[in-house]
Amino acid sequence: MSSTRSGWPAWAGTLKDVYAVKLYHTTDVNEEAVAYYVDNMRKYMPDHRPILCGLGVASLAFGMKVEIEVRAHIPQGS
């Protein structure tokens, strides 16, 4: 996983460390949208299956339509 933010340490982890993805969305999610998320998780995290949870919410900050929360466990010494 890379980041363009300055100060982000190179050892901060990779997609292999991800164990959960939570989607908050303000729009209706149909089967096509779910398939899109699942296909991309399989593409970028092919060696494991993180938990995927989607939640409909009334609104998000700054007019956003989707917010994605990712949780990862980075083993000590990595």
Q: How many helices (H) and strands (E) does the chain have?
A: 1, 3
Quick check: is 65 in a domain? yes
Question: How confident is the model over 12-57, as pLDDT tens digits?
Answer: 778 889 999 999 999 888 899 889 999 999 999 999 999 999 999 9
Q: What is the CATH number of the domain that holds 29?
A: 3.30.1330.40
Residue at 63 is within a domain: yes
Domain count, the chain: 1
In a domain, 3, yes or no: no
Beta-carbon neighbour count of residue 1 at 10 Å?
14
73, 19 Cβ separation under 8 angstroms: yes
Tell whether the model's pLDDT for residue 9 goes beyond 70.
Answer: no
Q: Which domain holds residue 60?
A: 15-72
| 46-77 residue pLDDT tens | 999 999 999 999 999 999 999 999 999 987 76
Residue 39 in domain: yes
Tell me if the pTM is above 0.85: no
Alpha-carbon span 29 to 13, nearest angstrom: 30
